[in-house]
Amino acid sequence: MTTRIAVFDLDGTLVDPAGAITGGISAALRDHGIGVPDEETLKSFIGPPLAASLRALPGVTEELVPKLIERYRDGYIREGMAASRVYPGIEELLKSLRAAGVHLAVATSKPEPQATRLLQIQGLLDYFAVVSGSDPDETVPHTSKGPIIASALERLRLDAEQHVYVVMVGDRKFDVEGAARQGLPCIGVSWGYAPEGELEEEGAVAVVSTAEQLREVIDDQFRPLEQDDAAQRTPVPQ
């Protein structure tokens, strides 16, 4: 039996934060007397663990990190989730993949309860069998997205007898790196927050600019594997 799985990043891939993340971080920094970096630096915070990004800012002490995160999360939960928007064509893509029998999961560096809530608010939660995120305590360090992806796959409870084919979809190098740690191909999407050329340099198997192109590349990733699987099951004439 063949099982196909598509694992998606969240912010910048499925949902556009629409300034909710960068604006919320700016507000948290200002409230604590920390200089707000330029917009490009703020955009670079979308994808990696927030605590790690904050620690790299001048004036941010280890003691201040949890306070900044608490202030940011409070505003994001109250206003930012509703202000976010699903990218064009994404819901139709998810619907068509589900109809084709592809199992869907989310793997995100966002704390898992908040990721689940965001997907619910945006009307996407029911498309996914699993939502895998980071520890709710964002001060707990994690160095790679690989374990989050691995957790998503483990929680799908796949049958060991199945032929399982998995592809990752994301908008930052962290998605490509995390997928590679699990031996998976990663498709990059250009509508997210990666600097130009980042996804290609990290080894994404393709970079697409529309949801329609993404569906084509996902199918292309599965097709050769399915053909091999079918050939192995075909009886050899005697």
Confidence bin at 235 (pLDDT 50/70/90): very low
CA distances from 59 to 44, 67, 165, 203, 204 (A): 18, 13, 46, 35, 35
Closest C-alpha among 117, 134, 120, 132 to residue 69? 134
- At 63-87, the pLDDT tens digits run 999 999 999 989 888 888 998 999 9
9 is catalytic: yes
First to last CA, the chain: 24
Predicted local confidence at residue 159, as pLDDT: 67
- At 19-53, the pLDDT tens digits run 888 999 999 999 999 999 999 899 889 888 888 89
**Which residue do the tokens 């200002």 mark?**
30
Please pick, among 9, 16, 171, 175, the residue that the annotation labels catalytic. Answer: 9
Predicted local confidence at residue 33, as pLDDT: 94
Q: Is 89 left (phi over 0), alpha (psi -120 to 50) or beta?
A: left
- At 153-206, the pLDDT tens digits run 999 977 666 788 999 999 999 999 999 999 999 999 999 999 999 999 999 999
Beta bridge partners, 155, equal: none
Structural domains in the chain, CATH included, are 2-16+85-233 (3.40.50.1000), 20-83 (1.10.150.240)
Q: How far apart are CA 180 and CA 168, in angstroms?
A: 9
Checking if the pLDDT of 234 tops 80, the result is no
